[in-house]
A and B are shown apart, each in its own frame.
Chain A
Amino acid sequence: MRPARGAAHLKGGFRLAEATAAAPEVRPLVPHLTLGETRDQDYLNGSICKNCNTKYVGPRLFCGKCSSAGPFETVRLASTGEVHVFTIIHQATPYVQAPYIAAIIDLDGGGSVNTNIVGIEPKPENVKFGMKVKMFTEKVSEDKEGNSYVAYRFTPA
């Protein structure tokens, strides 16, 4: 899995010329998103504690439930799930367009993620508890070095 952010291009020693000359990368915005060669190959990753079978979203080294060091098995999480709860955000941080739907999705087969639901008008009556949704990914931002960041979103299935 690629690191979420930071300096993958600095591995093996810091050399300023090389670092600044590095080609812009496409990076996942969160560590629990694994990027494929194309956007339709992206998927959410998780880990299962082999000691207590708890499924976590993203990579883990230690288990907060059973208080062990696992070991952990890295797994691919489902790209489909259902809406646990949601809210409509009207007062957003400056670089985000409001209103939008923020939601907690329970993924099929386990794991819950925080996300935006897009593709429907952001009104409470348009979102239903238990509504089936599916994931897609897209580029959401770019940093000063030209690296772009990919996030996942959900739409009604």
Chain B
Amino acid sequence: MREVAIVGVSMVKFGRYADRDFSQLAAQSGLEALKDAGMTMKNIEALYSGNLYQTSGSGQRILQQMGQTGIPVVNVANACATGSTAFREAYFAIASGAYDVVMAVGSEQMGKQGLLGSRGDPATSLEGRVGSYMMPAVFGMAGMEHARAYGTQQEHFAMASVKNHWHSTGNPLAQYQKESPLDEVMNARVIAYPNTLLMCCPTGDGAAAAILCSMDKARQFTTQPIKVAASVLTSDPYTDRDQTLPDINTLTRNAAKIAYETAGIGPEDLDQVELHDCFATAELLHYENLGLCEDGMAGKHIASGAPWLGNKIPTKYEEDIAPFVDKTYKPKTKAVVNASGGLLSKGHPLGATGVANIAEIVFHLRGQAGQRQVEGSKIGMAHVIGLCSACTLNVLQK
């Protein structure tokens, strides 16, 4: 297997584009990524397109906007991990030696209907009659498992929203760039306990693209190639309740083990992580799943300031968070989590998310992240989980 580098990235600001088509959003990100890499479509040997709602022919429709060069197109759908799975396919296409330069693009146009839009025939739908199967319920209950095991409080989860919304104010590409203090998060209307409205990611439209190249050819295009040190995909192994309440933890833990082994690093080596905070509860679970803190310590970890930009709680939030700080807790990792604002602020157009996370890490490793820059970032990891169930981890290195 050959070493693989990222030589171009782009992300279209997530938001609502009622007057645009998904393929136009995707083509915009693709053309920007080409420009970033100093390339044209003539350099691209294959396209890997992630889109969840347009499972048939999304990539071909993007090429109709971006350049119909006749290259092979692979269309990928893998729940929320759709974009990152397309990226991984692109990675293997280079690593295997099949191609030298390929593009991965993730796109989605969700509109405003969100996840409540279509639940089938009202007469025979299970939703709300035999429990709830929607994402807010799944991630509400996943948080409650943590509360049951470790006594985690709603405020601990809410801190993830305070942090990520604060981070978002430095990210012009985020769908929302609005701070929310702890009491505002706690007092927002409940969606599915313990997650309030401000603890749920928004739906929206968006696209992101990455251009991958063999490391030996990368310097022809850029002075700052970013190495893909690991690209991992797992599915959910059998666990006792998985078919009733999707287990979002075990497959992430399995992926982390493989990613750290492959990249030859440990969690303490990470400068930053973009992880799948589709709901605030999820962020805390993944601190533990990714080994950023010990099991049961996620609440203390976020209150310690470690995953915040600058590795400390901003002065204006110190008083709110003080009651949850354990002064004896020593964080074992310094990785800043979701410097972009996370899905909670940046938005989560399903197929675009996985590639956008990778673009975000690349911006930081190149020192191009502006106000939200993680200072001196050398190693970052992008994590996505999609139900039912796919987990991707991509470790990127300067």
Binding site for B on A (CB under 8 A): 5, 29-30, 54, 56-57, 64-65, 84-96, 98-100, 102-104, 106, 112-116, 124, 129, 140-144, 147, 149, 151-152
- B322 close to chain A: CB less than 8 A: no
Task: Judge whether A141 and B192 touch: CB under 8 Å.
Answer: no
Chain B residue with Cβ nearest A144: B123
CB of A58 to closest CB in B, whole Å: 9
Give the distance in Å from the alpha carbon of A95 to the alpha carbon of B131 in the complex.
14
Chain B residue with Cβ nearest A96: B128
**A54 contact set on B, CB distance < 8 A:** 238
**A116 contact set on B, CB distance < 8 A:** 128-131
CB of A60 to closest CB in B, whole Å: 10
Task: Judge whether A151 and B123 touch: CB under 8 Å.
Answer: no
CB of B199 to closest CB in A, whole Å: 12
One of B240-248, B265-273, B362-370 at the interface: B240-248
**A29 contact set on B, CB distance < 8 A:** 124, 126, 129-130
Q: Max chain B CB contacts within 10 Å: which of A89, A100, A144?
A: A89
Task: Judge whether A93 and B116 touch: CB under 8 Å.
Answer: yes
Task: Judge whether A91 and B191 touch: CB under 8 Å.
Answer: yes
Give the distance in Å from the alpha carbon of A93 to the alpha carbon of B122 in the complex.
10
Task: Judge whether A112 and B190 touch: CB under 8 Å.
Answer: no
Query: Main secondary structure on chain B at its contact with chain A?
Result: loop
CB of A153 to closest CB in B, whole Å: 8
Task: Judge whether B134 and A93 touch: CB under 8 Å.
Answer: yes
Known contacts A29-B129, A95-B128; 9 further A-B pairs (Cβ under 8 A): A84-B145, A84-B245, A88-B190, A89-B137, A93-B134, A103-B141, A104-B131, A114-B244, A151-B130
Task: Judge whether A149 and B127 touch: CB under 8 Å.
Answer: no
- B193 close to chain A: CB less than 8 A: yes
For window 172-200 of chain B, which residues contact chain A by CB distance below 8 Å?
189-194
Chain A residue with Cβ nearest B134: A93
Task: Judge whether B245 and A104 touch: CB under 8 Å.
Answer: yes
Task: Judge whether B129 and A87 touch: CB under 8 Å.
Answer: no
Instruction: Using known A-B contacts A85-B148, A86-B141, A103-B131, determine if residue A91 contacts B244 with beta carbons closer than 8 Å.
Output: no
Interface flags for B134-172 (1: CB within 8 Å of A; 0: not) read 101100110011001000000000000000000000000
Which 10 A-B residue pairs are closest in the complex by CB-CB distance?
A96-B128, A114-B131, A87-B140, A143-B123, A102-B132, A88-B193, A85-B144, A65-B238, A112-B244, A90-B190
How big is chain B's contact interface, by range? 35 or more
**B130 contact set on A, CB distance < 8 A:** 29-30, 113-116, 151-152
Q: Max chain B CB contacts within 10 Å: which of A94, A96, A100, A152?
A: A96
CB of B55 to closest CB in A, whole Å: 23
Give the distance in Å from the alpha carbon of A29 to the alpha carbon of B130 in the complex.
9
Give the distance in Å from the alpha carbon of A96 to the alpha carbon of B137 in the complex.
14
Task: Judge whether B129 and A91 touch: CB under 8 Å.
Answer: no
Task: Judge whether B122 and A90 touch: CB under 8 Å.
Answer: no
Task: Judge whether B244 and A113 touch: CB under 8 Å.
Answer: yes
Give the distance in Å from the alpha carbon of A95 to the alpha carbon of B130 in the complex.
13
CB of A105 to closest CB in B, whole Å: 9
Task: Judge whether B123 and A141 touch: CB under 8 Å.
Answer: yes
Give the distance in Å from the alpha carbon of A104 to the alpha carbon of B240 in the complex.
12
CB of B194 to closest CB in A, whole Å: 8
Give the distance in Å from the alpha carbon of A17 to the alpha carbon of B123 in the complex.
23
**A86 contact set on B, CB distance < 8 A:** 141, 144
- B121 close to chain A: CB less than 8 A: yes
**B315 contact set on A, CB distance < 8 A:** none
Chain A residue with Cβ nearest B240: A112
CB of A140 to closest CB in B, whole Å: 5
- B119 close to chain A: CB less than 8 A: yes
**B134 contact set on A, CB distance < 8 A:** 93
Give the distance in Å from the alpha carbon of A95 to the alpha carbon of B125 in the complex.
10
Give the distance in Å from the alpha carbon of A30 to the alpha carbon of B125 in the complex.
10
CB of B127 to closest CB in A, whole Å: 5
**A141 contact set on B, CB distance < 8 A:** 122-124, 129
CB of A56 to closest CB in B, whole Å: 8
From the candidates B116, B141, B240, B243, name the one contacting A91 in the complex (CB within 8 A): B116
**A88 contact set on B, CB distance < 8 A:** 190, 192-193
Give the distance in Å from the alpha carbon of A100 to the alpha carbon of B194 in the complex.
13
Task: Judge whether A90 and B192 touch: CB under 8 Å.
Answer: yes
Task: Judge whether A84 and B241 touch: CB under 8 Å.
Answer: yes
Task: Judge whether B245 and A140 touch: CB under 8 Å.
Answer: no
Chain B residue with Cβ nearest A141: B123
Give the distance in Å from the alpha carbon of A54 to the alpha carbon of B144 in the complex.
25
24 of the cross-chain contacts (CB-CB < 8 Å) are A54-B238, A57-B243, A64-B243, A65-B238, A85-B141, A85-B144, A86-B144, A87-B136, A87-B137, A90-B190, A91-B116, A93-B116, A93-B128, A93-B134, A95-B122, A95-B128, A96-B128, A106-B241, A113-B131, A114-B131, A116-B128, A116-B130, A124-B194, A152-B130
